[in-house]
Chains A and B, each alone.
Chain A
Amino acid sequence: MAVCIAVIAKENYPLYIRSTPTENELKFHYMVHTSLDVVDEKISAMGKALVDQRELYLGLLYPTEDYKVYGYVTNSKVKFVMVVDSSNTALRDNEIRSMFRKLHNSYTDVMCNPFYNPGDRIQSSGSVSLSRAFDNMVTSMMIQVC
Chain B
Amino acid sequence: MDASEEPLPPVIYTMENKPIVTCAGDQNLFTSVYPTLSQQLPREPMEWRRSYGRAPKMIHLESNFVQFKEELLPKEGNKALLTFPFLHIYWTECCDTEVYKATVKDDLTKWQNVLKAHSSVDWLIVIVENDAKKKNKTNILPRTSIVDKIRNDFCNKQSDRRSLPLFSRCCSSSRTPWCSMTSWTPSSLSMWSTSGPGVSVPPGALDCWVFLSCLEVLQRIEGCCDRTQIDSNIAHTVGLWSYATEKLKSLGYLCGLVSEKGPNSEDLNRTVDLLAGLGAERPETANTAQSPYKKLKEALSSVEAFEKHYLDLSHATIEMYTSIGRIRSAKFVGKDLAEFYMRKKAPQKAEIYLQGALKNYLAEGWALPITHTRKQLAECQKHLGQIENYLQTSSLLASDHHLTEEERKHFCQEILDFASQPSDSPGHKIVLPMQSFAQLRDLHFDPSNAVVHVGGVLCIEITMYSQMPVPVHVEQIVVNVHFSIEKNSYRKTAEWLTKHKMSNGIINFPPETAPFPVSQNSLPALELYEMFERSPSDNSLNTTGIICRNVHMLLRRQESSSSLEMPSGVALEEGAHVLRCSHVTLEPGANQITFRTQAKEPGTYTLRQLCASVGSVWFVLPHIYPIVQYDVYSQEPQLHVEPLADSLLAGIPQRVKFTVTTGHYTIKNGDSLQLSNAEAMLILCQAESRAMVYSNTREQSSDAALRIQSSDKVTSISLPVAPAYHVIEFELEVLSLPSAPALGGESDMLGMAEPHRKHKDKQKTGHCMVTTDHKVSIDCPWSIYSTVIALTFSVPFRTTHALLSSGTRKYVQVCVQNLSELDFQLSDSYLVDTSDSTDLQLVPLNTQSQQPIYSKQSVFFVWELKWTEEPPPSLHCRFSVGFSPASEEQLSISLKPYTYEFKVENFFTLYNVKAEIFPPSGMEYCRTGSLCSLEVSITRLSDLLEVDKDEALTESDEHFSTKLMYEVVDNSSNWAVCGKSCGVISMPVAARATHRVHMEVMPLFAGYLPLPDVRLFKYLPHHSAHSSQLDADSWIENDSLSVDKHGDDQPDSSSLKSRGSVHSACSSEHKGLPMPRLQALPAGQVFNSSSGTQVLVIPSQDDHVLEVSVT
Q: Report yes or no: B369 in contact with A29, Cβ–Cβ below 8 A.
A: yes
**Bound complex: CA A89 to CA B196 (Å):** 12
> Hey, which chain B residues are within 8 Å of A63, CB to CB?
175-176
**Bound complex: CA A12 to CA B321 (Å):** 19
CB distance from A47 to the nearest CB of B (A): 13
Does B332 interact with chain A (Cβ within 8 Å)?
yes
> Hey, which chain A residues are within 8 Å of B235, CB to CB?
41
Q: Report yes or no: B195 in contact with A93, Cβ–Cβ below 8 A.
A: no
- 1/0 contact string of B37-79 vs chain A (CB within 8 Å): 0000000000001011110000000000000000000000000
Q: Report yes or no: B369 in contact with A11, Cβ–Cβ below 8 A.
A: no
* Contact with B519, one of A11, A42, A89 (Cβ below 8 angstroms): A11
Does A62 interact with chain B (Cβ within 8 Å)?
yes
- 1/0 contact string of B396-436 vs chain A (CB within 8 Å): 00000000000000000000000000000000000000000
**Bound complex: CA A61 to CA B52 (Å):** 6
> Hey, which chain B residues are within 8 Å of A109, CB to CB?
none
Q: Report yes or no: A33 in contact with B196, Cβ–Cβ below 8 A.
A: no
CB distance from B239 to the nearest CB of A (A): 6
By size class, the interface of chain A is: 20 to 34
Does A26 interact with chain B (Cβ within 8 Å)?
yes
* Contact with B366, one of A14, A42, A55, A60 (Cβ below 8 angstroms): A14
CB distance from B56 to the nearest CB of A (A): 10
Residues A1-52 near B (CB distance < 8 A): 11-14, 25-26, 29-30, 33-34, 36-38, 40-42, 46
Q: Report yes or no: A59 in contact with B53, Cβ–Cβ below 8 A.
A: yes
CB distance from B832 to the nearest CB of A (A): 82
Residues A49-106 near B (CB distance < 8 A): 55, 57-63, 65, 86-87, 89, 93
Does B326 interact with chain A (Cβ within 8 Å)?
yes
Q: Report yes or no: A14 in contact with B329, Cβ–Cβ below 8 A.
A: no
Does B281 interact with chain A (Cβ within 8 Å)?
no
* Contact with A40, one of B51, B172, B196, B325 (Cβ below 8 angstroms): B325
Q: Report yes or no: B517 in contact with A46, Cβ–Cβ below 8 A.
A: no
Given A29-B368, A37-B325, the answer on whether A93 and B521 have CB atoms closer than 8 Å is no
Q: Report yes or no: A13 in contact with B365, Cβ–Cβ below 8 A.
A: yes
**Bound complex: CA A63 to CA B195 (Å):** 13
**In the complex, which of the residues A26, A33, A87 has the most CB atoms of chain B within 10 Å of its own CB atom?**
A33
Q: Report yes or no: A41 in contact with B195, Cβ–Cβ below 8 A.
A: no
**Bound complex: CA A13 to CA B363 (Å):** 8
**Bound complex: CA A13 to CA B364 (Å):** 5
CB distance from A27 to the nearest CB of B (A): 10
**Bound complex: CA A59 to CA B56 (Å):** 13
Given A38-B326, A87-B196, the answer on whether A58 and B53 have CB atoms closer than 8 Å is yes
> Hey, which chain A residues are within 8 Å of B925, CB to CB?
none
- 1/0 contact string of B540-584 vs chain A (CB within 8 Å): 000000000000000000000000000000000000000000000
Residues B324-375 near A (CB distance < 8 A): 324-329, 332, 361, 364-369, 372
* Contact with B195, one of A11, A37, A61, A86 (Cβ below 8 angstroms): A86
Given A11-B517, A11-B520, A87-B195, the answer on whether A93 and B172 have CB atoms closer than 8 Å is yes
> Hey, which chain B residues are within 8 Å of A89, CB to CB?
195
**Bound complex: CA A87 to CA B76 (Å):** 12
> Hey, which chain A residues are within 8 Å of B960, CB to CB?
none
Does B516 interact with chain A (Cβ within 8 Å)?
yes
Q: Report yes or no: B364 in contact with A119, Cβ–Cβ below 8 A.
A: no
Q: Report yes or no: A37 in contact with B326, Cβ–Cβ below 8 A.
A: yes
**Bound complex: CA A65 to CA B242 (Å):** 12
**Bound complex: CA A17 to CA B630 (Å):** 46
Q: Beyond A25-B368, A37-B328: 18 further Cβ-contacts under 8 Å?
A: A11-B364, A11-B517, A12-B517, A14-B365, A30-B332, A33-B364, A34-B328, A36-B364, A40-B325, A41-B325, A46-B53, A58-B53, A59-B51, A59-B52, A65-B243, A86-B195, A93-B51, A119-B520
**B positions within 8 Å CB-CB of A:** 49, 51-54, 172, 175-176, 195-196, 210, 235, 239, 243, 321, 324-329, 332, 361, 364-369, 372, 516-517, 519-521
| Nearest 7 pairs of A and B residues by beta carbon | A13-B365, A37-B326, A59-B52, A59-B53, A29-B368, A12-B364, A59-B51
